[in-house]
Structure 1
Amino acid sequence: MKVSSLLFLPFLFTVPTVAQTTESHEEHEHFVKFRTQVDTVTPYFKVSKGKTSQNPWNHLDFYNQAENFQFAIVTDRTGGERPGIFSVGIEKLNLLKPEFVMSVGDLIEGYTEDVDQLNREWDEFIGFIEQLEAPFFYVPGNHDITNEVMEEIWEERFGRTYYHFLYNDVLFLALNSEEAIQGSGGGGIEDEQYEYIKRVLEMHPDVRWTMVFTHQPMWIYENPRRWWDVEALLADRDHTVFAGHYHNYVKRERNNANYYTLATTGGGSRVRGPLFGEFDHIVWVTMTDNGPVVANLLLDGIFDDDIRTEDLANMVNMVSSEVAMTIQPGFNPNVTQQEYTAKIQNYSNSPMKADLHVMDATGTTITQTIPLDLEPNSVVMQDISVDHADPIQVKAAYRYAFDGYPDLETEQIVTLQPQFFHTLADTDRRVKVDGDLSEWGQLRYSSAYALDMTSQTPVDPADGFRFDVSMKRGKLVVAVEVTDDEYYVPGGNPLNQDGIGVI
C-alpha cells in the first residue's frame, strides 16, 4: 500500500551554483521547497473481529512507511529510434502512477547543427512529455548534446546540464557525461562538474541513499576523466548508479554498489529478449528501509484493464476454435498428380495472414510456402497441386493482427490421402437401402489409410472401412462398411463426429 500522497513530503530542488558568504566563506545550497498539504498522516484500516483468534490474512505489516516511495526510469529513445515505442511507454507510465520519472538521456536523434531540425526534434519529444502525468527529469545523452549548437539549445530549453535534488532524504544526482562533447564512447566527467559533485556529497553526508543518473556507463571506459574520482567519493556511502547508451541491459556489482546499464525505451535494438539484454522497458524503483528495489517492467507486459474485454474474448475464442481451412479434392484421373482446393476463411474483424505449407507424411516440405492475406470477415480460395502419389499434409499458420495487442498465432494441419478415380456403369444388381449389405458381396474398395479424427494421426488401416459404389438407373448407390472400436460423440465441429461423408 503506497501512502506517500498522505504525508508531508519535502521535495528539495537545488540550483547548481554554490554561494559563499563574505564572513565565513561557507558554501550553501539554494533550495526551492515543495510540500504536499494533506489532511491526515495515518493510513486508515479497520476490520471486524472474528469469533476466533484465527484470521484470513498473513499479517498486517502494511508496506506504507511514510519515507518510502516509487519512481520510474525511462532509457534510450533514440540511436536508431523505432517509432511508436516511447509514446507507448508514456501511456504505461500513466497507468503505473510513479511519483516521478527519471531519464538517462538519448531523448532526440540529434547529431546535427541544423537548429531548425534540432528544435523540431525537441518539440516532438516535449510533446511526448506533455502527455506524462508525473514530473519528468531530463539527463543529456550523446544524441542530445553532440556539439556546441546542441549544447546551447539544451541550455536555452532546460538550463543546467547537471543538477541534484533531495526526495524523502534520498539524494538524486543527474550528471552530464557529455561535457567533453566527444560523442559515443567519449563520455566523462570534467573538473567543474566533479567539484560540483564533491560539494553536493559533502553537504549531504548522511542521506538514506544516493541515486546517480548518467547517460554513458563511464565505468567501462579507459579514460572517463574525473569519473574514477567520483566513484571514490561514492565508495563509502550507499548508492546506486543508472546509465543507458548501449541499448543492452547489464547489472554490475562494483564500488560496493549496483551499477545498471539499461536497455531501451524505443531506441535501436534487435529486441532478442532478456538473455541478450535487449528489450523495451521501464525501470520501477521502490525505495525501502534497506535501499532501492529495482524491477524491470517490459512494455509489452503492461496493460490497462481493457486487456481482454468480452468482445475481444469472444473474437479470440472464435478464431481459435473455428476450422479456418477446409480442403476439397479436385478430379484428376492422373494418379501421380494430386489437385485440391483449399478454402481459408477469416472469421475475425481483424486482418489475417495465412502461410500454407504442403508436406509429405514425414513433414518434409514439397512445395513452396503459399502466403495469403485475408481482409476481415473474408474468404480466399487457393488451388494446391502436387506431383505426389502418397498422403500429404497441409499445414496452415494463421496470424491475426488485433489492434493494440501482440499478433494471435494459431495453426491447423489437414492430412490428405491420394485420390483414386473409377468409372461407373449402370448395374442390374438388386440393391435395397436397408442397412443390409449381403446383396453386395465382397465390397471392392478398402481404405488404404485410417486417421484418428481427434489427434489427426494415422492408425491401423484395419480400423478403417470398405466401400463399393454402383449406378442404378442414373442414381449413385453407395455401400460402406466401417470397423471402429470407439464410438465418438463430441460436441462441436460435425467434421469430427462419427459419420459417413460422400464428397
Structure 2
Amino acid sequence: MKLNLILQSVVIVLMLFLVNSLAYSTIVDVSFEKIRLTPPLCADVFDFVVMGDNRPSEPGNIPDVFVRMIEEWNILKPSFIIDVGDLILGGSAHLLDEQWNEFKSLVNKIESPFFPVPGNHDISDRLSEEIYKSRIGPTCYAFSYGNSRFIILNSEEPGQIDSLSEEQIDWLKKELANIKSKHIFVFLHKPYFQTKPEKWSTVESLFLPFPSVYVFAGHDHRYLYYGRKEGIHYIISAGGGAEIRRDEEEGGFHHYLLVKVRGAQVSWSVIRPGNILPMDVVTQEKVERRENWREIFRFPPVECGWGEPVKTNIIMNINNPFNEDAEVKIDWSIPQSWQVNTTLPELFTLRKGGVAPHSLSLTWIPTTDFKIYPVPEMKVWIKQGNEEISFSSSLMISPVISIPELPDSILIDGDLSDWNFVPSYPVLYPANFDVFQNTQDLQANWRGGWNKNGVYMAVEVLDNEFYQPYSGDIVWCADNLELFLGEWEWSLSLTSKGTEVFMYEGPNREEETLNEVVKLAVNRKGNYIYYEVLFPPSEVAPLSLSKGERVTFSIIVNDLDSQGPLNNRHWLEFTPGAGSGREDFPRCVLVLK
C-alpha cells in the first residue's frame, strides 16, 4: 500500500514537472514533445494539416474562421498541423508581446502538435526575429514523422531580399545529405517557386534527386495547386483567416489542407470550414483559362483629363482561342452618369477559334462632384464544356492630372502656404463609412508637384479626431496616408514617436521597411492635419524627373476614431478600390508639366 502511494506521488511530481516545463517552452518545443509522446501507429499511414496566413486584418480582431478551423482540427485529430506563416499582424517590436500572447492562447487549444513557419508579418527586423525565436521557436528546423521528413525554411531572414541566405542553403544541403525518407515535405512562407528569385533555382536543384518532394507556401492569400515541375509538387495554402484579395475562382477563399500519406501515395483535400473540396478545385490550368477569358473581355484603357467629359468609341474583338464552343451571357451595370451603346448581345455563342468584333460607345458628362467612378461594368458568364467561369470587367479609365514644376524654395515643414498656386484635388471616394457613406468626419485634398529634387506632395485632412497609436507596418490601421506612386507603395504617418515613412514595396528594395530618405513633415492645427512630403529621385525610380514624364498614382486617407461616431477604420480613396488590397484598382496618371 505504501509502495503504491509512493509511486503515485512520483507520477504526480513528474507530470507537474512536465506541465511546468511545457508552460515555459516555445510552441515548437511543446510540439516536439507531443510528437515524441504520440508516434505514428503505422509509419506509412498518417494525416497532417497545412494552412497559413491566419493573421488578423486589424489589431485584436482574431478571424472567426481561424477559430472555427481549430475546432475542426480537434475533431479530425491530424497527426500534426503546419502553419506556413503570418501568424500575427505584427508591427513594431513593442506591439508584439500582446499579439503573441493572444496567438499562443489560441494554439494552446489545439490538441495536435502545431509547427509554425515564420511569415513577413511575424518577422520584420532583427528584434522581431529574436522575439519570434524566444517565444515561438527556431525559424528553420526539420523533423521526421513516419516515412517522411519535414523541413521548415525561413523566407523572412532580415537583410535578405526575396532569397534564402547562403547559410540557410548550406544548412539545407547538410539536411538533405543523409535523408532516406520516402517523402520530403518542405514549408516556407513566400512562394519563391512562383516568383522565382535568383537563388531559388539553387534550392530547387537540391530537391531534384529525390523521388517524392512537396513544397508548401503561403503569403498569396489563396489556394493554388501550382503543379508538378520536374517531379516536385508546389502548393500555396494561405487562406487561414487574413483578408482575401482574389476572386473565388482563383482560389480566393478561406481554407486548410488535409494531407494524407498512404505508403508511397500522397494526396490532399481542400477544406473550407464545413466543406471539403477536391485538390484540383483551383489549378494553374484553370486560372490561366480564366485569365485568358478575362483578358479577352478586358476593356482597353481610356484616359481623360480630370473633370473633363468622356466620349470614346471602343472596338472589342471577342475571340474564342479554345477547342470548344463557349456559351456567353453578359449583364451590364451602367451608372446614371454614363451612357453605353454596344453591339454586344446579352446571350451569344462563340464558336471555337471564332472571332466576334463588337463596338462600344461610351459617354460621361461631369457631375458637380467630379466623381467619374463608378464606371460601366459587365458581368460575364461563360459555359464551356463542363466548366463554368464568371468574372466582371470594368471600364479602365484613368484621369490625367498635370502637376507643375515647383521652385526650389518649397520647404518640407508642414506649412502649406507656399502651395497656394498649385491646384488641389479632392479625395472623393469613401470606404467603410456608415451605411450612408457620410464623410462629415473626414475630408481631404491633395496637391502634387515636382522639380529636380524629386516629387512633392501636400495633403490637407479635416478630421474630427486624430488617432494613431501604432507604428511600423500596421500604421494603416489608424490615421495616416497610404500612397501609390508607380511601382512604390508608402505609408506616411505621425506616430507617438514623430513622423514615420514606411515603404511597403519598391523596385529592387527589401519589402516593408522604415525609410529615412523620404522627407516628411506633419503639422496639426485644430481638426486639420497637414502632410508635406518629398520623394527624392532614388525613391521614385524609374521615373525620370523631366517634363512630359508620366507615373500612375493614388492615395488613401485612413481614419480611426477612438471616440466615435465610427469606431471602425474607414477611409477615403483618390480612386476607388485603392484600399481593397487588390492590385487591379484604377489609378490616375500624373504628368510632369
Q: TM-score range by the shorter chain?
A: 0.3 to 0.5
- Structure whose alpha-carbon radius of gyration is higher: 1
Which structure's residues are more often strand, by fraction?
Answer: 2
**How does the TM-score come out when normalised to structure 2?**
0.38
**How does the TM-score come out when normalised to structure 1?**
0.45
